[in-house]
Structure 1
Amino acid sequence: MAATFYVDGSLSLGKAARLANVSKQDFLDFLADHNIPLNYDVDELEEDLSIVKEILQNEGGF
């Protein structure tokens, strides 16, 4: 049920994992095992890249 809600966008990855009562990693593994693609769009990628850049700048590595 949690995977269905994740696929249709009703739940985020974290909330779906909580509903399934498993860790995020275990939920990701389940999705991979069942060939279910991640709900990850360009906006999320850009946000993640921005966070990584900020971390690297704060650590003096960028």
Structure 2
Amino acid sequence: MQLLPIGIYLLLCLILAYAGRKSRIGAFGIFLCCVIFTPLLVGLILALVRPFPKKASSGSSADS
């Protein structure tokens, strides 16, 4: 019965590691932080420091 909560915890850690694979510390670093701290805290930090996606330029110039 103790394996289900541990499995859910590790699954959340893996999901966050996948989401943070392009971060500065990488997927393994995110996974380790999740295991040491908590996936909720690391997920919140990851969401706050994740850069905004770049908007695509329209390609037309106003000077022409």
- Quick check: which has more Rg, 1 or 2? 2
Higher relative contact order (CA 8 A, sep 6+): 2
Same fold (TM over 0.5): no
Instruction: Select the structure that is richer in helix.
Output: 1
TM-score (norm 2): 0.31
